[in-house]
Structure 1
């Protein structure tokens, strides 16, 4: 059987890499959407069958997801969706707030009227999703809004770091989208765009910073463990309980 030529080998590698990227994108979508929950074990054979691919692209996708901070590999145990700790998430929010402040200040100085108009369209989409009570649609528009801001800032290295932080936060933020918070987020986004349109660099930066720190506070409230019931109260509850 003739051996493959260098060109055939290169084509096969490109096809394999492209397929691995598709698998990685689909697994990332499933993780962010909560279809694969934190702590869930990911099995090559099962996912390969589910996605209709061989195990090789799934294995490569696992490697890329680990680099992105979405999964962890445990020796002799397998690959698991990361379960990010609350303390780590709060630290990420603080770092992201500083980065968002920079984005807001920069765009207030550089954004064109057409770019501001496009941002307003995304805010309108979030308003509509909020009124419809559609958390998935709100989440989609929210991600597109922040990614648009990031692209307009025009710093590739900055964007790479920022996107990794956003992926990690996606592991813990699903409880943050209720009816009240969607209204609040949409209002904060509109204030950000208003400051950018007004060329108010300080105001835009502060609005971005406050927006992220407000999200941090919501996350703290939603995920912090409930305080332990005092022993005396437990004894009183036990005494009132029927035999």
Structure 2
């Protein structure tokens, strides 16, 4: 991990550095670490490291073990199902509301971020693509008027990334991912709140189906994905009406 510069934003820098290290596998799942060691690696005191780890523990990324340190946690298939069930509950209505509240400046940024996604996909730059993907969703979540919601969905996305899974170059291409976001953007720019919400629903459902099937070692559409939070019984994602 890169050392953190001492500044007024040291706490957020430490949190970002530790989160990135967990997500990328630099701090592998199952490993145990001491606060002192992590502080030394980052070049900071123990206090901001401890505070950052407490936040990561609240997000389910790490667990404190008494007199031993902090352990990096793994994400299960059931965790993935829960994450996408929650994203459906939160992001779909948030997208609908965002269309109605979107400011001109937020709309311009959304278009710029999408253009950056296209550029990253064309360059086959998966890391930059995911950065822009996250920002695209974040703009809409923030536009819905709920900052806490944006933070929470970000933490849900981290749980998926922490597992080290991605559909890019496995279940679909970067261009395919961009295409799904293009539909959302078009509906937003048309002022079609319901259409944008349905496009977001379709995007999240498709991602869930591909990821869970991929991690289960099965073909997409052949695995029952339990999104019990949004459906009365476990069904295949491809059977859910959108």
Give the direction of change, closer, same or farther, for the CA distance of 1:124–1:18 in structure 2 (3 Å limit): closer
Say if 2:33 is the partner of 1:42.
yes
Structure with more contact order per residue of length (Cα contacts < 8 Å, sep ≥ 6): 1
Determine which of 129, 132, 138 is the counterpart of 1:141: 132
Calculate the aligned-residue CA RMSD, in Å: 2.5
In the alignment, the residues of structure 2 paired with residue 69 and residue 16 of structure 1 have an alpha-carbon distance, to the nearest angstrom, of 28
Determine which of 48, 51, 60 is the counterpart of 1:60: 51
> Hey, what does 2:224 align to over in structure 1?
none
In the alignment, the residues of structure 2 paired with residue 160 and residue 226 of structure 1 have an alpha-carbon distance, to the nearest angstrom, of 32
> Hey, what does 1:75 align to over in structure 2?
66
> Hey, what does 2:111 align to over in structure 1?
120
Say if 2:146 is the partner of 1:178.
no
Which range moved further: 68-77 or 121-130?
68-77
Which range moved further: 70-79 or 130-139?
70-79
In the alignment, the residues of structure 1 paired with residue 133 and residue 157 of structure 2 have an alpha-carbon distance, to the nearest angstrom, of 12
In the alignment, the residues of structure 2 paired with residue 195 and residue 35 of structure 1 have an alpha-carbon distance, to the nearest angstrom, of 39
Determine which of 178, 181, 206 is the counterpart of 1:214: 206
In the alignment, the residues of structure 1 paired with residue 113 and residue 131 of structure 2 have an alpha-carbon distance, to the nearest angstrom, of 10
| Normalised TM-score (structure 2) | 0.78
Unaligned residue ranges in structure 1 (runs of 5+): 1-14, 228-243
> Hey, what does 2:20 align to over in structure 1?
29
Report 1:92-111 matches (<5 A).
92-111=83-102
Count of residue pairs brought into register by the alignment: 213
CA shift for structure 1 position 17 = 9.2
Which range moved further: 172-181 or 147-156?
172-181
The one-character-per-residue Cα deviations of 1:9-31 (angstroms, maximum 9, x if unpaired) are: xxxxxx99964443222101222
CA shift for structure 1 position 112 = 3.7
3-state secondary structure, aligned to 1:175: coil
CA shift for structure 1 position 173 = 5.3
More helix by share: 1
In the alignment, the residues of structure 2 paired with residue 96 and residue 216 of structure 1 have an alpha-carbon distance, to the nearest angstrom, of 10
